[in-house]
Amino acid sequence: MDTIQMIATVCCAAMLVCLWRVLNWVWFTPKKLEKLLREQGVKGNSYRILYGDTKDLSAMIKEATSKPLSLSDDDVAPRMMPFFLETIKKYDRQAQKDLMVLLALASLATVRNMLPAFYLSCSEMISKWEDVVSVEGSHEIDVWPHLEQLSCDVISRTAFGSSYEQGRKIFELQKEQAQHFLEAVQSVYIPGWRFLPTKRNRRMKEINKDVRSSIRGIIDKRLKAMEAGDAYNEDLLGILLESNFKEIEQHGNKDFGMSIEEVIEECKLFYFAGAETTSVLLLWTLVLLSRYQDWQTRARQEVLQVFGNQKPDFDGLNHLKVVTMILYESLRLYPPGITISRRAKEDIVLGELSLPAGSLVSLPIILLHHDKEIWGEDANKFNPERFRDGLSSATKGQVAYFPFNYGPRICIGQNFAMLEAKMALSMILQSFSFELSPSYAHAPQSIVTLQPQYGAPLIFHKL
């Protein structure tokens, strides 16, 4: 009997401890954080258990995306972040103002070596367009799937070189995983739900296993080639492994380098950081140039003046001023990522705010990019001229332009994305003129990145 009582006592104690931990997790800690922030003047909705603001957020997004925008409307912030925008209006603008080893991959010299892969992938896409346009001299093409495929091809070639086809398979799996993840984060949060064997959870687990297995196979093959003395620094994976090898060799300790698991994670990131950003940038740039024909003409004149009908080269691409202005303005109006969030790992002071560990800070990029106090009364209008004298002049010296993040955490792939975009845009302008199709519906939506809800059908004319 004593044994049974002892077991019962232990079980009750264990249950009480678990209950306390759950209550602390879902109620006491969030309420404590809310109290600390309110004491510092930070305003916002009160914490609600489990649901939080998810139901309101989902309802507002559903309403905002239920119909397209006017073709002349580039004020996409209310459509993309209706809940965030309403929160700022409700609790005043101060809330917005309060949220204010891989370097080898980022160098221009490295990106310059990727130019042949850029050109090959762009040539294949344009060749397909020419085949359908040449029959009648003009043809409607939904450019979005083509641009997605272009970015997939470029990343597959530049990241994995000879393992190109296997790289494309990884890309498709990553794309499916992103969709499942988005569905998960928009649903009600229930602790431990992701561990249950639901259909979506099982599929996400399968995808992760397949992606890791494929990347591991490519890495193992590359490591064997390195051991055999073969060249291995001609693509992003090779550069990453070479840089990692030198770091370990220099310090004589593997702790100074990246583990194979870390290399796998970086390879997975190649796709989200490299493919999505560039395809979205090109998509909205083509849409804008279809609407603003005068800027399309100016961009084409510059491209033909620099390259004629010849293959674009590295030096020429970096001297395209008008094209660069257009790309900057496209990134301002339609940033690939509409918000950046960071969680504090420890107590930190941010400006006049003291944020306890666990605080989540979100920077609403798209709201800053459309802020009239920063960009002027034409903030919601397409005006590349604002970048004529560079970024600093356009922002009046303020830190307010975040298409690739900012500071030490700035996207190391920005040179890669900009050069690929310049190459693709230059080759398109050399071959075609284009305009919006009557079937085009202006409906940006955020699915990890800022994408067209109903595609982007454009009418292309052969030059």
Alpha carbons 442 and 446: distance in angstroms, whole number: 13
Q: What is the pLDDT at residue 26?
A: 62
Q: Is the pLDDT of residue 380 over 60?
A: yes
Alpha carbons 379 and 375: distance in angstroms, whole number: 5
Half-sphere exposure in the Cβ direction for 299 (13 Å, CA): 31
Q: Which residues contact 220 (CB under 8 A, 6 or more apart)?
A: none
Q: Is the pLDDT of residue 215 over 50?
A: yes
Contact in structure between 156 and 148 (CB atoms under 8 Å): no
Q: What is the mean pLDDT of residues 129-143?
A: 92
| Number of neighbours of residue 216 by Cβ within 10 angstroms | 15
Q: What is the pLDDT of residues 151-178, one digit of tens each?
A: 888 887 877 765 667 777 887 888 788 7
Alpha carbons 161 and 155: distance in angstroms, whole number: 9
Alpha carbons 211 and 265: distance in angstroms, whole number: 10
Q: What is the pLDDT at residue 101?
A: 38
Alpha carbons 1 and 22: distance in angstroms, whole number: 31
Q: What share of the chain is helix, strand, coil (3-state, %, to 5)?
A: 65, 10, 30
Q: Which residues contact 260 (CB under 8 A, 6 or more apart)?
A: 216, 219
Q: Is the pLDDT of residue 187 over 60?
A: yes
Ranges 174-178, 236-240, 269-273, 341-345: which has the least confidence: 269-273
Sign for the pseudo-dihedral over CA of 211, 212, 216, 217? negative
Q: What is the pLDDT at residue 303?
A: 97
Q: What is the pLDDT at residue 95?
A: 40
Binding site listing: 411
Ranges 134-148, 256-270, 330-344: which has the least confidence: 256-270
Q: What is the pLDDT at residue 191?
A: 60
Ranges 139-153, 174-188, 229-243: which has the least confidence: 229-243
Tokens of 203: 């599929």
Q: What is the pLDDT of residues 381-435, one digit of tens each?
A: 999 999 999 888 888 878 888 888 776 566 666 778 898 999 999 999 999 999 9
Average pLDDT, the chain: 79
Q: Which residues contact 53 (CB under 8 A, 6 or more apart)?
A: 45, 83
Sign for the pseudo-dihedral over CA of 262, 267, 268, 274? positive
Q: What is the pLDDT of residues 95-131, one digit of tens each?
A: 443 333 344 444 555 677 778 888 999 999 999 999 9
Look at residues 165, 177, 257, 247 and name the one whose alpha carbon lies nearest to residue 212.
Answer: 177
Look at residues 199, 206, 197, 161 and name the one whose alpha carbon lies nearest to residue 183.
Answer: 199
More confident residue, 81 or 112: 112
Contact in structure between 249 and 256 (CB atoms under 8 Å): no
Q: What is the mean pLDDT of residues 75-99?
A: 57
- The number of residues making up the chain comes to 463
Alpha carbons 7 and 74: distance in angstroms, whole number: 66
Q: Which residues contact 135 (CB under 8 A, 6 or more apart)?
A: none
Binding site listing for heme: 411
Sign for the pseudo-dihedral over CA of 152, 155, 160, 162? positive
Q: What is the pLDDT of residues 323-379, one digit of tens each?
A: 999 999 999 999 988 888 888 888 888 777 787 887 778 888 888 899 898 999 999
Structure pTM? 0.76
DSSP annotation of 168? H
Using 50, 70 and 90 to split pLDDT, how confident is the model at 12? confident
